[in-house]
């Protein structure tokens, strides 16, 4: 079953197919498909010929400030019309079927947005009612979602008295209350303490893993993306710099192992070099061993045993999200070649 | 925390029709607005004129018993502003009407009393209540970015505006139409026979129509002002300024000619000057609706001006409500 079919199933209405929006066959499975999307504000071009397909699952949408993320989200929700290009969300054309898309998408804005003088549960109930829930059912569902979001008795307090963390939970609950197949979360962990942040990320993972929801996370907190995302799209200066799976992006240009040993690393480096294994000092007292084949790993263990060096950790080297992001923004990352795939 | 938390549950709730969305916005707006204590006090005050106007109704309907009551009633009516309007409609009030004369003047007299209640105490309260209710309705949404809550869901601009208009209209109807309709029913109950309903059946319809004439332009203007700023207090200031400046301008333009006509003992007709004051324009239009068209020659111009103001306000609203999305 494709993501589009999954999205259409709960509502019992088949979405218009990707072909309906004249998008190529590769866009069929994509929850979001963009083809040459450009958005200009007068002479300023916010988005420049964006072509990318976001697959089902959790996708991190990254980019420095002013990269065009918010503009892209508004286009996806049908709030803004692209100057040129085509876009579809869950198989629906963003401009022609924008009302249908907004029924199928749960959007959590980055900005603090609330209706003063309403309590938290009233706010979520209101969001449910805007999504055509009956009055009593919307109240029941609001409580159910607030329970899931970890909101306690504070749900009865006026929202203007909420802390930042509580407001984040409230916005998340409002986005989720109508059980949308696609969630667009703008900075979902911003302002949360480490414990709450972990809980929020767990909820995101659970919604994808157990309930098959597709989730797009826009954030500046790169470890969050690394923790939950299976796919990453990086925007820079209105263009897609990177669009690839997290596995591909994390793989370094040349395979290597990261090794931590007890005691000074120089002894281990010398011992490995004696065996014609390319080993160099890495960051924070680690050792980088080039190559990650089975033979290399066996040689590392053998060398350590012979020289009586204790290995504390041995892991394949991975590009950090920071590295990926910075290289993408500077326009020199390898994954950029996949941007328009 | 809940005793039993089953975690996330998919939702299979059957949805209601999409036509309820504007109603949801409207009801939520009313609930939020009613949390203001001052507003509740004003709403209570809106029903006090009902007691004051029930007296003349009682006096009129019971005066066939005693000429003394009639004389008292006439004195009260003559003391009301624009009583010349009633004379122009039903002629000079007789010293003590007979049964047939009562029937002849009843419709005009009731209309005049209902119009006076709407035109004076209720209009003053309407300006105050709209000044409290309308300014935050859109400006607060813009300031707190609550527009994202609405427009990230399948809400059209029309539904949003309709919902907001509904909030203001609700309070205006509660202040204008509801007390007037209650007064009409009180008048019927105080009258010697319920058959009087057949003489006055059109008055409730005129009350509703006069309320619409009042509600539509005032609501749209108040919301248009609210949409032009992020600060509710600026919107409230602009709202009151429109009424005060309009009234002062009208008074300044009409004071000298009015004084001159009083001195010469002629009737003064303010003419186009009425269009400088929203209060006078609305009063003219309402007087026309209640059947006092002969006394308000500028009524068509007032209707035209109110229509123009409403259309311009609606255009501003549509443009401004979409504005945050364009950036």
Say how many C-beta atoms besides its own lie within 10 A of residue B263's C-beta.
8
pLDDT recorded at residue A19: 37
Return the pLDDT at B215. 93
pLDDT at B325: 64
Q: Are A214 and A208 in contact (CB under 8 A)?
A: yes
Hey, of B1, B7, B8, B22, which one would you mutate to test binding to chain A, going by the most A CBs within 10 A of its CB? Answer: B8
**Chain A contact set for B5 (CB, 8 A):** 147-148
Token pair 């003064």 is found at B268
- Return the pLDDT at A333: 41
CA B290 to CA A126: how far, in whole Å? 41
Quick: pLDDT tens for A24-50.
Answer: 545 567 899 999 999 998 888 889 999
pLDDT of residue A4: 47
- Distance CA(B270)–CA(A273), nearest Å, equals 105
Q: Using an 8 Å Cβ cutoff, are A214 and A205 in contact?
A: no
How many angstroms separate the Cα of A1 from the Cα of each of A5, A101, A170, B31? Answer: 6, 19, 32, 44
Cα–Cα distance for residue pair A132/B154, rounded to 1 Å: 10
**Chain A residues lying within 8 Å of B19, measured CB to CB:** none
pLDDT of residue A291 exceeding 80: no
The arithmetic mean of pLDDT across residues A1-18, rounded, is 41
DSSP A11: G
What residue ranges of chain B have pLDDT lower than 50?
none
Nearest CA in chain B to A111: B145
Minimal CA separation from B126 to chain A, in Å: 23
The percentage of chain A sitting over the pLDDT mark of 90, rounded to a whole number, equals 45
Q: Is the pLDDT of residue A317 over 90?
A: no
B28-60 residue pLDDT tens: 999 999 999 999 999 999 999 999 999 999 999
- What is the reported pLDDT for B3? 65
Percent of chain A with pLDDT over 70: 88
Question: Which of A6, A58, A54 is closest to A31 using CA atoms?
Answer: A54
CB contact under 8 A, B28 and A116: no
What is residue A244's predicted lDDT score, i.e. its pLDDT? Answer: 85
pLDDT value for B324: 66
Which of A238-252, A305-319, A320-334, B24-38 is predicted with the least confidence, judged by mean pLDDT?
A320-334
Query: Distance between CA atoms of B313 and A264, rounded to whole angstroms?
Result: 77
CA distance B321 to chain A (A): 12
Q: Determine whether the interchain pair A115/B1 forms a contact, defined as Cβ–Cβ distance below 8 Å.
A: no
Question: How confident is residue A332, by pLDDT bands cut at 50, 70 and 90?
Answer: very low
Chain A contact set for B157 (CB, 8 A): none
Which positions in chain B touch A152 (Cβ < 8 Å)? 1
pLDDT, tens digit (0-9, with 9 covering 90-100), for A80-127: 889 999 999 999 999 889 899 999 999 999 888 888 889 999 999 999
| Burial of B36 from C-beta contacts in 10 A (0-12 / 13-18 / 19+) | middle
CB pair distance less than 8 Å for B24 and A203: no
Instruction: Sort out which chain B residues have CB atoms less than 8 A from A77's CB and list them.
Output: 151-152
Residue of chain A nearest B159, judged by CA positions: A130
Alpha-carbon distance values, A212 to A5, A207, B121 (Å): 12, 7, 61
């Amino acid at each position: 079953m494709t993501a589009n079919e999954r999205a259409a199933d709960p509502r019992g209405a088949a979405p218009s197919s990707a072909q309906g929006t004249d998008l190529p066959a590769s866009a069929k499975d994509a929850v979001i498909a963009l083809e040459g999307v450009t958005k200009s504000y007068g002479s300023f071009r916010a988005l420049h010929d964006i072509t990318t397909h976001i697959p089902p699952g959790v996708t991190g949408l990254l980019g420095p400030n002013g990269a065009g993320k918010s503009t892209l989200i508004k286009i996806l929700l049908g709030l803004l019309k692209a100057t040129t290009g085509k876009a579809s969300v869950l198989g629906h054309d963003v401009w022609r079927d924008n009302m249908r898309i907004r029924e199928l998408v749960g959007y959590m804005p980055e900005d603090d947005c609330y209706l003063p003088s309403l309590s938290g549960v009233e706010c979520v109930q209101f969001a449910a009612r805007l999504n055509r829930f009956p009055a009593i059912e919307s109240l029941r569902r609001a409580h159910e979602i607030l329970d899931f979001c970890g909101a306690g008795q504070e749900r009865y307090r006026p929202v203007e008295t909420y802390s930042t963390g509580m407001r984040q939970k409230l916005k998340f609950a409002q986005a989720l209350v109508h059980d949308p197949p696609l969630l667009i979360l703008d900075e979902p962990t911003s302002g949360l303490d480490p414990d709450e942040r972990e809980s929020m990320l767990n909820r995101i993972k659970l919604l994808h893993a157990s309930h098959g929801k597709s989730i797009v996370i826009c954030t500046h907190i790169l470890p969050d993306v690394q923790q939950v995302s299976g796919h990453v799209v990086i925007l820079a200066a209105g263009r897609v710099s990177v669009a690839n799976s997290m596995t591909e992006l994390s793989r370094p240009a040349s395979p290597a192992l990261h090794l931590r040993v007890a005691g000074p690393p120089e002894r281990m480096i010398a011992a490995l070099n004696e065996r014609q294994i390319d080993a160099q000092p890495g960051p924070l007292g680690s050792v980088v061993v080039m190559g990650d084949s089975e033979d290399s790993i066996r040689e590392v263990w053998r060398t350590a045993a012979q020289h009586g060096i204790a290995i504390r950790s041995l892991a394949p080297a991975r590009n950090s999200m920071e590295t990926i992001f910075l290289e993408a923004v500077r326009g020199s990352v390898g994954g950029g070649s996949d941007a328009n795939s | 925390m809940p005793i039993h938390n089953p975690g996330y549950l998919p939702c299979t709730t059957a949805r209601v029709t999409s036509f309820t969305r504007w109603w949801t916005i409207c009801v939520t707006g009313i609930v939020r607005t009613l949390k203001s204590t001052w507003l509740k006090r004003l709403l209570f005050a809106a029903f006090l004129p009902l007691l004051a106007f029930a007296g003349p109704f009682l006096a009129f309907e019971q005066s066939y018993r005693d000429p003394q009551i009639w004389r008292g009633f006439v004195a009260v009516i003559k003391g009301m502003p624009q009583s010349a309007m009633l004379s122009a409609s039903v002629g000079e009030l007789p010293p003590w009407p007979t049964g047939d004369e009562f029937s002849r003047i009843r419709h005009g007299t009731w209309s005049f009393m209902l119009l006076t209640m709407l035109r004076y105490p209720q209009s003053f309260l309407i300006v105050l209540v709209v000044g409290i209710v309308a300014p935050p309705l859109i400006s607060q949404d813009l300031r707190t970015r609550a527009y994202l809550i609405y427009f990230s869901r399948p809400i059209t601009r029309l539904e949003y505006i309709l919902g907001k208009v509904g909030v203001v209209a609700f309070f205006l109807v509660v202040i204008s139409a509801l007390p007037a309709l209650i007064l009409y029913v009180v008048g019927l109950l105080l009258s010697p026979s319920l058959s009087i309903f057949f003489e006055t059946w059109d008055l409730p319809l005129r009350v509703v129509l006069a309320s619409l004439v009042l509600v539509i332009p005032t609501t749209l203007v108040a919301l248009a002002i609210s949409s032009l700023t992020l600060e509710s207090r600026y919107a409230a200031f602009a709202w009151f300024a429109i009424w005060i400046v309009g009234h002062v301008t009208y008074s300044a333009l009409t004071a000298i000619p009015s004084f001159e006509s009083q001195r010469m003992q002629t009737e003064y007709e303010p003419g186009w000057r009425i269009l400088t004051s929203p209060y006078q324009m609305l009063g003219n239009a309402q007087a026309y609706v209640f059947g006092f068209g002969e006394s308000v020659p500028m009524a068509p111009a007032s209707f035209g001006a109110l229509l123009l103001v409403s259309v311009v306000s609606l255009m501003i609203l549509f443009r401004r409500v979409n504005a945050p999305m364009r950036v």
